[in-house]
């Protein structure tokens, strides 16, 4: 189950398994991912043609020369960007951390970098630094902030990995790129924006153990509390990262996170309308948390700086559900019953939470495999905590609930152990 969800190189560094620096993250469970860059301008189309695949890969998929792609910067003017609104949305959704692309594979920096002119302040009419504005808002509204940084692929930099249509890979100095470009940029990101909770590296590809190790050390030296995700590579990250949109079949003996999309793309694409339903997203969150993981759910704002309305609506629906049921998510651990057809379980202290995705028609809930010392059952949505009739015999627990599902997406029953 681990093998198909978490690649070895992206697994957790074994010594990090019980590191208390991760405690806030272990409790947080739910974060907002933001993919935002120049690719939001073509939004999936190049020279009138639909380019298949995820939006932020358009430069590679359409093999757009650097000289052409970089001209997008002159058009990038996201006047509707409002850091306060983005942070407020994450808070409303019940997300506890926010991770935004500082530099994706296309090499464009969405922050003010002294290492290049290919950044939002130097190369666009916008001239503002969204990461500075988000950092200030995260401080103000009390949200942890992390930066995504593509450490290996950089299709703009002559020595970065991945662009074989402008550059000859045999001539590239990847080691020099890491030393003289990646490290100074990581230094900027961990120096100029206050406390950074996570650096989210990605697509480690051929990065060496020494290179991953030295990046890890640089992060720790600059901000000892900053977590480094598993896509640093070489099994050196603080926590494991699954493949995109992949949920393990069961529990995993690691701290792990699933990065995932609400539609199919990460970066904005005009014609991607394949939105997952709120019900599906709530159940995915519960599924992940029931197995001990975190859910990092993505939005792809437009070139104007607007988060698509379908994403907003779904995040708000998740937040509304969490408002009532957050106790069964935040700070919980993997539940005692795995793989049940009726739903999922999570646990905290002396409580077990049954998450019923499909409510039985007669309201009679029958579960096997629970501990036999249960003393009370009640609906988490019931502030009065009115006990539901509960009986246990021969390893089977029966709870009598209302005939109608109190929540069509996931009704949570709290079981208290003696």
Identify residues 112-151 at the interface with ligand FHN (CB under 6 A): none
Residue 154, interface with ligand FHN (CB under 6 A)?
no
Binding-site member from 5, 16, 36, 56 for ligand FHN (CB under 6 A): 56
> How many amino acids of this chain bind ligand FHN (CB under 6 A)?
8
Binding-site member from 11, 106, 137, 202 for ligand FHN (CB under 6 A): 202
H-only helix segments in 51-208: 58-61, 66-69, 83-93, 120-123, 130-141, 174-177, 183-189
Residue 229 CB, nearest approach to ligand FHN (Å): 10
Using the rule CB under 6 A, give the single segment among 51-59, 139-147, 283-291, 366-374 that binds ligand FHN: 51-59
If the CB atoms of residues 163 and 346 are measured against ligand FHN, the closer one turns out to be 163
Residue 244, interface with ligand FHN (CB under 6 A)?
yes
Structure tokens at 279: 């019900």
If the CB atoms of residues 57 and 177 are measured against ligand FHN, the closer one turns out to be 57
Residue nearest to ligand FHN according to CB distances in the complex: 259
Binding-site member from 38, 43, 54, 123 for ligand FHN (CB under 6 A): 54
Among 200, 237, 11, 228, which residue's Cα sits nearest to residue 99?
A: 200
Instruction: Compute CA distances 300 → 70, 265, 293, 308, 310, whole Å.
Output: 20, 8, 23, 7, 11
Among 6, 11, 5, 2, which residue's Cα sits nearest to residue 234?
A: 11
If the CB atoms of residues 51 and 380 are measured against ligand FHN, the closer one turns out to be 51
Residue 99 CB, nearest approach to ligand FHN (Å): 10
Among 33, 342, 385, 28, which residue's Cα sits nearest to residue 202?
A: 33
Cβ–Cβ under 8 Å, residues 282 and 325: no
Using the rule CB under 6 A, give the single segment among 52-60, 129-137, 312-320, 352-360 that binds ligand FHN: 52-60
Residue 29 CB, nearest approach to ligand FHN (Å): 18
Give the strand pairing for 198-201 and 227-228.
parallel
DSSP state of 349: T
H-only helix segments in 70-208: 83-93, 120-123, 130-141, 174-177, 183-189
Residue 349, interface with ligand FHN (CB under 6 A)?
no
Residue 122 CB, nearest approach to ligand FHN (Å): 24
Identify residues 269-328 at the interface with ligand FHN (CB under 6 A): none
DSSP state of 160: S
Residues that bind ligand FHN (CB under 6 A): 54, 56-57, 202-203, 244, 259, 266
């Amino acid at each position: 189950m681990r093998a198909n969800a978490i690649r070895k190189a992206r697994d957790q560094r074994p010594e990090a398994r019980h590191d208390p620096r991760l405690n806030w993250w272990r409790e947080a469970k739910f974060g907002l991912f933001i993919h935002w860059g120049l690719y939001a301008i073509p939004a999936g189309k190049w020279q009138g043609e639909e380019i298949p695949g995820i939006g932020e890969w358009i430069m590679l998929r359409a093999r757009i020369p650097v000289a052409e792609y970089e001209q997008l910067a002159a058009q990038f003017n996201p006047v509707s960007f409002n850091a306060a609104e983005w942070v407020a949305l994450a808070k409303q959704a019940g997300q506890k951390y926010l991770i935004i692309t500082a530099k994706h594979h296309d090499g464009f920096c969405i922050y003010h970098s002294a290492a290049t002119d290919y950044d939002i302040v130097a190369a666009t009419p916008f001239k503002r630094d969204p990461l500075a504005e988000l950092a200030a808002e995260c401080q103000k509204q009390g949200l942890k902030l992390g930066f995504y940084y593509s450490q290996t692929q950089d299709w703009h930099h002559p020595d970065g990995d991945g662009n074989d249509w402008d550059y000859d890979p045999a001539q590239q100095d990847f080691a020099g790129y890491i030393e003289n470009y990646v490290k100074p940029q990581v230094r900027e990101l961990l120096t100029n924006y206050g406390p950074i909770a996570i650096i989210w590296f990605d697509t480690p590809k051929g990065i060496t153990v020494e290179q991953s190790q030295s990046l890890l050390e640089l992060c720790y030296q600059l901000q000892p509390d900053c977590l480094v995700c598993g896509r640093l590579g070489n099994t050196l990250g603080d926590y494991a990262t699954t493949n995109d949109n992949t949920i393990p079949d069961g529990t995993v003996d690691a701290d792990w996170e699933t990065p995932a999309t609400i539609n199919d793309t990460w970066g904005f694409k005009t014609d991607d309308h394949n939105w997952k339903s709120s019900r599906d997203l709530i159940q995915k969150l519960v599924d992940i948390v029931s197995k001990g993981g975190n859910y990092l759910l993505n939005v792809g704002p437009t070139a104007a700086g607007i988060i698509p309305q379908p994403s907003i609506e779904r995040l708000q629906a998740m937040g509304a559900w969490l408002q009532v049921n957050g106790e069964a998510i935040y700070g919980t651990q993997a539940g005692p019953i795995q793989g049940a057809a009726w739903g999922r379980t999570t646990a905290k202290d002396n409580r077990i939470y049954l998450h019923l995705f499909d409510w039985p028609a007669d309201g009679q809930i029958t579960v096997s495999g629970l501990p036999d010392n249960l003393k009370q059952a009640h609906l988490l949505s019931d502030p009065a905590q009115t006990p539901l009739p509960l009986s246990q015999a021969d390893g089977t627990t029966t709870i009598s609930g209302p005939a109608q599902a109190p929540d069509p997406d996931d009704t949570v029953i709290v079981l208290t152990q003696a």
